[in-house]
């Protein structure tokens, strides 16, 4: 049975470390880190995510501001809200919860956020700095995965890492991070996606398999090399009549059978998910202490 890479436990440890640092900052008379979040519309999942981020801010001693806007808000109005937060010296980090309504350009909104406050790590400036291995705010999910690999002492140097999924939020930055000179890193990386030919055969060559394709139970045991480390980024709600709720959460990996073959694996839920918020808080702390853009 594989070692369980416990993101819930690790994220709690990171939040405790952040809270301790915030307590030091306050004791020294410094500025309390302050995160602002913009939520457009009333999507249930988005509200849950934002509320969890606000709650986590409180746990770490941060200040937080939640700006709620109707889904009928114009693009111009939203950009003005972003601009106002950009110019507010009291706010260190800004996130705009996705998805946005179809009439609003995600690219325009992202580009409007000051790189110094882009704690989601989505602006071209931060993506470019990350690729160059310069100080940057790294996108929260990839950073969370890197931190899990580090804290579980998983060797990455010289290993073959296969990333399944090429999104700008997870797959693409993950491939860059794993190839960078450092630890975790120095891996030989293959970035694959839904149109990759012979994907199962390529996946089976991976020492480290990172799956962020967005398809429930896509990776099965026959696609995994014995002893591989498997990181499952997916999360899906599927029907399950045996559960009181009528559903259960699963990942992109068929956990029951893959966990018998892997050396280490992240569960769903409780694996990568909790690390995303912890990473966001860490980026906000970096922003407050001017550790990236000094």
Q: Residues comprising the binding site?
A: 165-167, 235
29's CB contacts (< 8 A; 6+ apart) are none
**From the candidates 97, 112, 225, 232, which is the catalytic residue?**
97
Q: CA–CA separation, 19 vs 23, rounded Å?
A: 6
Active site residue 244: no
**From the candidates 6, 120, 207, 232, which is the catalytic residue?**
120
- 292 dihedral zone (left: phi>0; alpha: psi -120 to 50; beta): alpha
Q: CA–CA separation, 238 vs 197, rounded Å?
A: 28
Whole-angstrom Cα Rg for the chain: 19
Active site residue 47: no
Phi, psi of 209 (to 5 degrees): -115, 115
Active site residue 53: yes
Residues annotated as part of the active site: 53, 97, 120
């Amino acid at each position: 049975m594989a070692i369980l890479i416990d993101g819930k436990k690790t994220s709690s440890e990171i939040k405790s470390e952040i809270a301790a640092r915030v307590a030091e900052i306050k004791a020294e008379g410094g500025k309390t880190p302050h995160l602002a979040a913009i939520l457009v519309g009333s999507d249930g999942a988005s509200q849950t995510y934002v509320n969890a981020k606000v709650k986590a801010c409180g746990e770490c001693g941060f200040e937080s501001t939640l700006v709620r806007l109707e889904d009928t808000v114009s693009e111009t109005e939203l950009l003005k809200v972003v601009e106002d937060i950009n110019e507010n010296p009291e706010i260190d980090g800004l996130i705009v919860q996705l998805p946005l309504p179809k009439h609003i350009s995600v690219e325009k909104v992202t580009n409007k956020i000051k790189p110094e406050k882009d704690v989601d790590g989505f602006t071209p400036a931060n993506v470019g700095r990350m690729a160059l291995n310069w100080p940057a705010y790294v996108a929260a999910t990839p950073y969370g995965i890197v931190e899990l690999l580090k804290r579980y002492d998983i060797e990455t140097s010289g290993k073959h890492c296969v990333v399944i999924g090429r999104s700008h939020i997870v797959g693409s930055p993950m491939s860059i991070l794993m190839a960078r000179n450092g630890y975790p890193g120095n891996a030989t990386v293959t970035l694959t996606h839904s149109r990759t030919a012979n994907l199962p055969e390529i996946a089976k060559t991976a020492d480290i398999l990172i799956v962020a394709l967005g398809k429930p139970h896509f990776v099965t045991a026959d696609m995994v090399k014995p002893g591989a480390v498997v990181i499952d980024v997916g999360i899906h709600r599927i029907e399950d009549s045996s559960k009181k709720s009528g559903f259960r959460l699963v990942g992109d990996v068929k956990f029951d059978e893959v966990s018998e073959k892997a050396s280490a694996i992240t569960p769903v839920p409780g694996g990568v998910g909790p690390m995303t918020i912890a990473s966001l808080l860490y980026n906000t702390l970096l922003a407050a202490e001017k550790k990236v853009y000094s």
